[in-house]
Amino acid sequence: MSSTVETTSDIRPFKVDIPDEALDDLRRRVAATNWPDKETVADQSQGVPLAMIQQLARYWMTDYDWRTCEGRLNALPQFITELDGLDIHFLHVRSQHEDALPLIINHGWPGSIIEQLKLIEPLRDPTAHGGTAEDAFHLVIPSMPGYGFSGKPTGTGWGPERMARAWAELMSRLGYRGYVAQGGDWGAFVVDQLGLQAPEGLQAIHTNMPATVPADVDKASLAGDPPPSGLSAEERRAYEQLLRTYGQVEYARYMAARPQTLYGIADSPVGLAAWLLDHNDADGQPAAAVTAALDRTTSATGELTRDELLDNITLYWLTNTGVSASRLYWEYKGGFFNAKGVAIPVAVTVFPGEQYQAPRTWTERAYPNLIYYNQVDEGGHFAAWEQPQLFASELRAAFRSLRPRGGRHE
């Protein structure tokens, strides 16, 4: 394949072009917010505190500049293609190293392709970011159906299983006969499904939210029962983390049950922002990284900043995808952290702030063809956003064993 995408009737170039009127309307709506009373507690147990969201709203209304994000997106090669009847938006950034390994990366909720932007240069051009030419990737980063600039499904059925089939078709359409896939959050569900489907050309997957929980442990944790006997100290810790996680996912349960009722997040920018910021985890992960970012204006090390949070929230607003993105929770009827039976090569990175830290013992059982496992010291649920340099180095290490010696990836 040539070093640039061939534009065909199946693959169309795309540029972001938000009208000034839409940005003016956003600011007017923020200014006109009908604020509720202040919470009656001194912590975040009732939700996003009034002072916190009002401070963010003031900045959003007066100082935040969407055009900076728009320019960053438009500096990258963006495309639209129809997959299984739906227009899918994606970034396709090829490395200058022709032997680079093709990699498709899947974001999650409440994220978007903006989560992956800081990964692009370290993965595309590793020689400028502490790696070698042999570490390079060609990158494909799609927006999930109902998210960002992708089309919104008008019928049911667009869950992780269908997305996995669509991503396999996308990689084939781009001419990649051999590739790897990565995902966290909902992206982890999609790459697990890719692993189960094992389409031709898929060599391995990497997940930073692995599905490793054995059946007996999964059953007990979902029921809130005591842990099964015989667990190691590390496994018991993971079990306690699962109980904590299942006790604080009301937002997910609501989207899984009644996504259409969330009219408020389609009508109020502040309502949307609060919904996307609230993870009800007692200032732990994933909300700790988000809360810290609200007061971080810049970061020399790539940590999440206030503008990056607003880039993502503003993308949801401008594309009116708050409700359409939520429907993914309604679509998915499978298990969450339970082992799925993926047999292809799998690489796993365990971040300390993830919703649970998968023990190596469970991971080896869940993924019998485990080619890489590492526990790192920093980062959480939004690892690519929070620690992009570390995340990029993990992806290099995770897939290094698949690199051909003197061969080429097509």
Number of domains, the chain: 1
Distance CA 243, CA 239 (A): 6
Cα angle 400, 403, 405 (rounded to 5 degrees) comes to 125
CB 227, CB 236: distance < 8 Å: yes
In a domain, 11, yes or no: no
271: domain CATH number is 3.40.50.1820
Tokens of 11: 């693959």
Q: What letter represents residue 186's amino acid?
A: W
Asked if the structure places residue 127 within a domain, the reply is: yes
Residue 258 lies in a domain: yes
15 domain residue, yes or no: no
pLDDT at 169: 98
Spatial neighbors of 84 by CB under 8 A, at least 6 apart, are 162, 165, 166, 169
Q: How many residues does the chain have?
A: 410
Q: Is residue 18 in a domain?
A: no
Dihedral of CA 111/114/117/123: which sign? positive
Maximum Cα interatomic distance, the chain, rounded to a whole number of Å: 65
Q: Where are the alpha helices (DSSP H) in 99-159?
A: 120-124
Instruction: Answer yes or no: are the C-beta atoms of 50 and 38 closer than 8 Å.
Output: yes
pLDDT at position 24: 98
The string of DSSP letters for 335-380 reads -SSB-----S-EEEEE-TBSSS---HHHHHHH-TTEEEEEE-SS-B
Cis? peptide before 110, omega within 30° of 0 = yes
Q: The domain containing residue 149 runs over which residues?
A: 26-402
In a domain, 7, yes or no: no
Predicted pLDDT at 405: 62
Residue 130 has a pLDDT of 87
Q: Are β-strands 101-106 and 86-93 bridged in parallel, bridged antiparallel, or unpaired?
A: unpaired
CA dihedral over 289, 293, 295, 297, signed as positive or negative: positive
In a domain, residue 6? The reply is no
pLDDT recorded at residue 7:
47
**Tokens standing for 337?**
């952290």
In a domain, 96, yes or no: yes
CB 342 within 8 A of CB 366: yes
CB environment 124-147: b (16+ within 10 A), e (fewer): bbbeebebeebbbbbbbbbbbbbb
What pLDDT sits at residue 63?
97
Place of tokens 């051909």: 404
Per-residue pLDDT of the chain (410 residues; tens, 9 = 90+): 333 444 455 999 999 999 999 999 999 999 999 999 999 999 888 889 999 999 999 999 999 999 999 999 999 999 999 999 999 999 999 999 989 999 999 999 999 999 999 999 999 999 999 889 999 999 999 999 999 999 999 999 999 999 999 999 999 999 999 999 999 999 999 999 999 999 999 999 999 999 999 999 999 999 999 999 999 999 999 999 999 999 888 899 999 999 999 999 999 999 999 999 987 665 555 567 778 888 899 887 888 999 999 999 999 999 999 999 999 999 999 999 999 999 999 999 999 989 999 999 999 999 999 999 999 999 989 999 999 999 999 999 999 999 876 334 44
CA distance 286 to 278: 9
